[in-house]
């Protein structure tokens, strides 16, 4: 079954095209706001709308014959079972980045059947300027010509102060950001059975309830342990709890920790690639048998590794 095109909405008024600044204004509304959306009234109930805004469907358009012009507009797509953002993007001849940025998607694995997506007619990124941003600075960080931003958004000055959102034609999201959104940031540091999950548990030695700040992966002694993400070795050492351990610092505040190793194969300050072997599974420290204790931090806060590994 294919997803149904719920309607099409043009950012244009009659034959007069509105500027992309108008698009930006629309895009800032929780979901379309006042613009006209075509839909089957029942299907559009409102409950499944991102942002939780109920829409009053006004007319069924479902008119794929509306001619494209050079302006940017978007259609509305209803997600069906089995859809992925990548497949939807491919079918529409645009990049995943476009759909992600137009819909403020932070986790592509969490898109739900029945939810609605804006499908822009052009490839590019919808960008929300930060304080002090200029067209030139944004152009440079996305490696696109500044002129294309001026033109697409009909901007006349460099400062993006007070501009809600700008369309960056043909821009791609930083690959790191895309991996993060796609849930592809981390890879399993080793293979084995999960012997203890993240969260509260009864201590295997003392029987006392305690918080387990990582994931335990049980496997054979000497199995390679690999960097779960590229980064730089921040620390290696020995602790009575975690035995031989390695701490890797990554992009964007992420860090990962590997404990109970039988050997450490890297040194502090060394850069490591994703998947590079850094040590071997062991049972050093406070451990009942060979396993890897794996913890992930973001800006010092704990994350549940199970949510990051797929
Ligand atoms: Zn553990």
CB 295 within 8 A of CB 257: yes
- pLDDT at 105 (0 to 100): 94
Domain range for residue 27? 20-181
**Which positions ≥6 away from 22 have C-beta within 8 Å?**
11
pLDDT tens figures, 194-235:
999 999 988 777 888 888 999 999 999 999 999 999 999 999
Asked if residue 114 has pLDDT above 80, the reply is: yes
Strand partners, 294: 215, 258
| Together in a domain, 277 and 224 | yes
User: Do 216 and 105 fall into the same domain?
Assistant: no
Domain presence at residue 2: no
Distances (CA, A) of 255 to 106, 169, 252: 20, 33, 9
Asked which of 131, 153, 181 is the last residue of a domain, the reply is: 181
> Which pTM value belongs to this model?
0.68
Give the environment of ion ligand 1: residues with CB less than 5 A: 216, 293
109 and 233 in a single domain? The answer is no
> What number of residues does the chain have?
310
274 shares its domain with 145: no
Same domain, 240 and 154: no
Return the pLDDT at 69: 39
- In a domain? residue 13: no
245-284: pLDDT as tens digits: 999 999 989 999 999 999 999 999 999 999 999 999 999 9
Check residue 138 and give its pLDDT.
Answer: 97
Taken in order 54, 55, 57, 62, is the CA torsion positive or negative? Answer: negative
- What's the total number of domains in the chain? 2
pLDDT number for residue 304: 95
Beta bridge partners of 245: 237
Q: Kindly tell me the burial class for residue 304, based on how many C-beta atoms sit within 10 Å of its own C-beta (0-12, 13-18, 19 or more).
A: middle
**Does pLDDT of 3 surpass 90?**
no
CA angle (93, 99, 100) in 5-degree steps: 140
User: Given this model, what pLDDT does residue 198 score?
Assistant: 94
Neighbour count for residue 60 (Cβ, 10 Å)? 12
- pLDDT value at residue 234: 98
Q: Report the C-alpha gap between 256 and 212 in whole angstroms.
A: 15
Asked if residue 8 belongs to a domain, the reply is no
203 Cα to the center of ligand 1, angstroms? 10
Ligand 1: centre distance to CA 195 (Å): 9
**DSSP element (H, E) containing 124:** strand 124-127
- 273 by Cβ neighbours in 10 Å (0-12 / 13-18 / 19+) ranks as exposed
Residue 3 to residue 191: CA distance in whole angstroms: 37
Cα distance between residue 91 and residue 112, in whole Å: 18
Same domain for 150 and 218? no
Last residue of a domain, one of 136, 158, 181: 181
Decide: 262 and 219 in contact? Cβ < 8 Å. Answer: no
Are 132 and 200 within one domain?
A: no
Return the pLDDT at 136.
Answer: 97
For residue 303, the domain's CATH number is 2.70.70.10
Q: Which tops the pLDDT comparison, 9 or 80?
A: 80
Quote the ligand 1 centre to 214 CA distance (angstroms).
6
Residues 164 and 265 in one domain: no
Residue 130: pLDDT band with limits 50, 70, 90: very high
Question: pLDDT digit string (tens) for 11-70?
Answer: 333 333 334 444 444 444 333 322 323 332 233 333 333 332 223 222 222 333 333 334
Residue 106 in contact with residue 181, Cβ under 8 Å? yes
Residues 205 and 130 reside in one and the same domain: no
Distance 295 CA to ligand 1 centre (A): 8
Identify which of 52, 130, 118, 47 has the alpha carbon closest to the alpha carbon of residue 89: 118
Quick one: 144 and 50 in the same domain? Answer: yes
Is residue 4 included in any domain, yes or no?
Answer: no
Does residue 31 form part of some domain?
A: yes
3-state secondary structure of 209: strand
101 and 203 together in one domain: no
Residue 196 Cα to ligand 1 midpoint, Å, equals: 7
Q: How far is the CA of 133 from the centre of ligand 1 (A)?
A: 44
Reported as a single tens digit per residue, the pLDDT across 154-190 is 899 999 998 889 999 999 999 889 999 988 899 999 9
CB-based contact 6:40 (threshold 8 Å): yes
Give residue 186 CA to ligand 1 midpoint distance, Å.
18
CA 293 – ligand 1 centroid, Å: 4
In a domain, 121, yes or no: yes
* pLDDT higher than 80, residue 303: yes
Each residue of 274-302: b (16+ CB within 10 Å) or e? bebebbbbbebbbbeebbbbbbbbeeeee
Among residues 122, 146, 181, the one where a domain terminates is 181
């Amino acid at each position: 079954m294919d997803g149904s095109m719920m309607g099409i909405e043009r950012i244009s008024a009659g034959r007069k095209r509105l500027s992309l600044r108008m698009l930006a204004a629309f895009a800032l509304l929780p979901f379309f706001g006042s613009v006209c959306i075509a839909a089957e009234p029942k299907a559009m109930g409102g409950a499944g709308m991102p942002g939780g805004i109920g829409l009053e469907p006004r007319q069924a358009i479902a008119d794929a014959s509306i001619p494209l012009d050079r302006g940017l507009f978007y259609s509305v797509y209803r997600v069906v079972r089995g859809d992925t953002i990548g497949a939807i993007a491919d079918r529409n001849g645009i990049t995943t980045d476009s759909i992600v940025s137009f819909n403020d998607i932070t986790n592509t694995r969490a898109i739900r059947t029945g939810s609605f997506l804006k499908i822009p007619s052009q490839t590019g990124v919808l960008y929300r300027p930060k304080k002090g941003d200029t067209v030139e600075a944004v152009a440079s960080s996305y490696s696109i010509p500044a002129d294309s931003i001026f033109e697409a958004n009909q901007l006349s000055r460099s400062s993006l102060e007070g501009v809600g959102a700008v369309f960056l034609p043909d821009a791609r999201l930083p690959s790191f950001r895309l991996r993060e959104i796609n849930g592809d940031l981390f890879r399993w540091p080793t293979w084995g059975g999960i012997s203890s999950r993240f969260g509260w548990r009864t201590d295997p030695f003392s029987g006392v309830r305690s918080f387990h700040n990582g994931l335990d992966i049980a496997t054979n002694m000497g199995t390679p342990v690999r960097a779960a993400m590229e980064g730089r070795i921040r620390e290696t050492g020995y602790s009575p709890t975690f035995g031989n351990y390695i701490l890797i610092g990554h992009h964007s505040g992420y860090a990962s920790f590997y404990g109970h190793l039988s050997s450490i194969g890297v040194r502090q300050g060394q850069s490591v690639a994703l998947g590079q072997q850094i040590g071997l599974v062991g049972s050093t420290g406070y451990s009942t048998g060979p396993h890897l204790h794996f913890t992930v931090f973001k800006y010092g806060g704990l994350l549940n590794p199970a949510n990051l590994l797929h």
